[in-house]
Structure 1
Amino acid sequence: MKKFRDLFSIKTIKSKLILYNLIIIISIAMFVSIFNFISYRKNTIKTAINNSMYHTKNISDRLHIAYEEMLNIVLNCTARKSLFLSINSRNLQTSSGKQLALYGTQVLKDYCAVSGYSEYIAKITLYSKNGVLIQSGFIPGSINDVSWITNSDWFQKEYEKNSSSYQLSLVDSPFLEPSKTKLLPILRTLEYDDNKKNNGWVLLCISSKLYSKTLEQYNDDSAMYCITKEGDVIASVNSGGINGTSIINTLLNKSNNQGYLRVDIDGIDSIVTYYRQPQSGILIYEVIPIKDLSMEHIVIIQTIILLFISCLIIGLLLSILISKKINKPIARLLYSIENISNGDFTRDPKIEGNDEIGTIGKCVNQMSSQIYTLLDTRVEIEKEKKDLEIKMLQAQINPHFLYNTLDSIRWIAMIQKNSGIVQVVTSLSSLLKNMAKGFNEKVTLEKELEFLNDYVIIEKIRYVELFDIDIQISDPVLYKAKIIKLTLQPIVENAIFNGIEPSGHTGVIKISAYTDNSTLYISVYDNGVGISPENLSTLLSKTERVKSSTMSGIGLPNVDRRFKLVYGEDYGIKIDSKVGEYTKITVSLPLEFD
């Protein structure tokens, strides 16, 4: 994995050579791919537009044929005077008149049947001024049909159309029928009626099912709409996912009767092709989203992607093959140098040779051997330096402690001639014994508190119960935590000598231990004289004894330095104090257990 990452690192000559080759190949592949894609996409859209326009015109022509057949029926009825003029309201009471009426009805049925669209003729009605009413169609007739027709809100508009106006409108059915199918009426006055104020008329109502079934029959899964010149939708198919009605006004305002639009519908880039029949005013249009064009679109994309990937792989292999011979010695030398930087100073004979790179390899091997020797020497020196520094710091603590202890024994001998000397000597012996085992040894907190107790026994006898010790451990498990031996003794010693003793009254020393984020904190609190702010800021940096009434700091800088040497600079002592009230010294160290 590392070699693979190195291969594509732009810092190497090999990778740069590969990168330059790939850039050229990728640029050519991208140019060819993009050009092919754009050309194919453009041709696909152009083909889709042509096919859609042809398809739209074909459907429009089929509907126009049906419209012309029905218009011819109406025109024949309005002009056939010999058939209907002989029928009037008087002779309808006679048998011959009834036969004429039945004959007229049959003629209307024959007209419908001959046209081939009888199933879409909802009703054809012939009404003359003399009250004659003849009807046919799939909607049942009624004596109220004339009244319903003439009272419709669209009747007068259709009645007033001139002989050259044949454009259709979508209206509600005026007849009493359950389905209430939308109708497209063709209304013409009778040419042989002399009463110009109350001419008779012929009405043929085309069912909107003619348009919906035609769209369904010839549709190819795209959204298609059929609308009137007023913009009313007669029929539509596959319109669920696209709101194709949003562009009706745009199409109606087009001056030409055939064309296409490239529009955005509901955020979808789409093509709209349309065809309008001038005579009927019916407009057919089809909506095709660009993303739904022929499945060959996906094929060309896959081909382009395959071409691009093939160029990329071939270019990569060629680049690797060419650069391998050139960069192999350099890569081996680089690998050896990286091993050295990671701490592996093993001699690598493979990088040595008779050429310039081989000479560099010999120098690298020599350098590696010298670095290894220098590091070993440096480690030994640092270890020795650290041990000497710790011994020196420990030596600063132990003589001072021994001096105070012997002074205590002297006072006991002078003042008390009793068994108290035994306690002091026993405690002193225990302390010296533990100190002699090693100055850098780690013991449990429990053991450290036992060492501290020996020291406290000695000091309490010396100062005649001048102070009390209060130990609070937040969690019993912390008794097993590891700390450096003789950590607490110098801190408690300073609390006694430089905190409580100068105050002139009985004091309390509180020792507490707790953890936070895998760090062990041990604090020593005393209610003595405290430390002034000016001394507090420099306390840990001073190693000499301060001759004043405040805490001298003897031992504290040493303890802090000792912690930093063992655990690192992030650990050590922190002091918080207020003059005349308290001093709190907190030691921080990593939480460790056996």
Structure 2
Amino acid sequence: MYKWFQRSLQNQLIVFILLAVLLPLSILGIFSYSMANHLAKERSTISGQSSLKQLKTSLEFIVNDIDNMSVFLIGNEDVQQYLKSNHKPVQQRWNINGFLSNLTFSKPYIANILIEPLNNNPNISTIPILTTDRDLSDYNLEHHWWSSRYSSRNSIESQQVISMFRPIRSTKDYKLIGYLSIYLDQQVIEEHLESVDFEWNGSTLLMNEGSVIASNDKQLPGSQDIAELYSLVDSNTNEQAITYEYNGNESTIITTTLSGVGWKLIGIIPFKEFTAQNRYFLLLTFISVIIAALLVIGLVLFFVRKVIGPLSSLTTAIQASDPGTDIRQLTSHSSDELGQLIISYNKLNERIRSLMNRIQKNESHKREVDLQALQAQINPHFLYNTLASIHWMALVSREANISKMVSALSSFLRFSLNKGNEYCTVEQELSHLFHYTQIQEIRYPDSFHLDVHIPHEVNQLYMLKLTLQPLIENSIIHGLLPSGDRQGEIKVVAEWDRTFLYLTVSDDGVGMSREKAKQLQEQFLADEKGEVVVGPNYGLRNVNLRLLLHYGSIARLRITSSPNRGTSIKFTIPLESR
């Protein structure tokens, strides 16, 4: 993939443009889905609160109706007389029983009504109660209260009920004369809870003091979870929607409180319910993003190829161009940047064609000059033959110094005037250096001594020729001869690390000032920029420029010198084997 990406500008543009378009498009899709989820959650909360409000109204009506009925019953004259009379009036008991039965049958949410006298008269109830799970020990019998849910078994069936308990007092002296219990059918309450029409499926609980009175959820969590839920709801005094993990599912909890009894009506809407409702929207969003992505990819490919096409043609033409043949001209169909680039390319081709024609003319002229140079080789050969004659004449006359000097001069000139390769072996360069010093030792006897230390293993490796001799000449002429009659010393030392040869040429002559050494370094820099050597110090500057041209900046001459302490020149060159 990376190689494909790096292969062409077209591939890179396609990737970058697709990322620039598809990434925001994907982010927009994710944002839209998130907003839809958020709005769905908010809508479910509002819908749930509305449904709970309706349910609260219904339950409060039932509770208030039972409360009003209890007030009516405890003040009823027949009930008061029955609770005060000690002779057990049967007729009055039947009248009260019939009245209570009518009330019970007219109110479907009332399971039973029980009146318990304290004067040992029989209890009165619409349906005889056989057993009950109600525990009165936790309640204050002197006041009105509502019980939690419990089981009550009568002569007909066993049912879950919630009872309202109210003490009955005499209307004359306010003495306690009995108790009234009105049993609320828990099944009717659950039917009301199940009738709640949440927009999303959820659970509804009616709780009192931590216990569940009624619920439409058939799989209630454990008592500890119920207690935690009630504690959370009870502390939510402003009745705001909250998030809670109910029965293992993240859910939205909405609550309200029934006035008068303090019961907590709780609506529970699992997240997965309205998330499931949004899957259709998610599917539509995904399909829209895919269609948009395919459309974008098609448009990007079309426009990128339309823009990059001329550039690709230009690249192909450049890669296939051969300076030795005619370079094909490209046709520009626009005046934009790419069109201007193609026009510039065509102009460059014309320039190249013109330069090639000029080079061909120069090469033709160079061949003519080479023929003239070949004819001029007669003069050096004439010089070599003349020096050879002088050498033999000196030998015949037994002039050893003259013979030695002429022989060295002949070898020196033959090496210097040779128009062969620019490179020679280290051994040849040293031989040329020794021929030069032989001539100079005859000219200036006892003026200097040359000491050479170069590893023998580099003798057959190649270096730039005519490099050491100009440096030795500089040491003799400018360093040792001006020092007087004393014999000076010149050292040539080299170190070899299998790659580079580190050379140092030093003398113990008069040296030079720091200013003159700095001036010489500045001349080196000027020669490097101008590539022409003119003016003083020609020998050193010429060697420095030749080293730079052949080896680069690593071979630049480095000069250190002090007055009356001599001069040291260092440079580094790579050696080659051929």
What is the TM-score with the length of structure 2 in the denominator?
0.49
Larger Rg: 2
Higher RCO (C-alpha under 8 Å, 6+ residues apart): 1
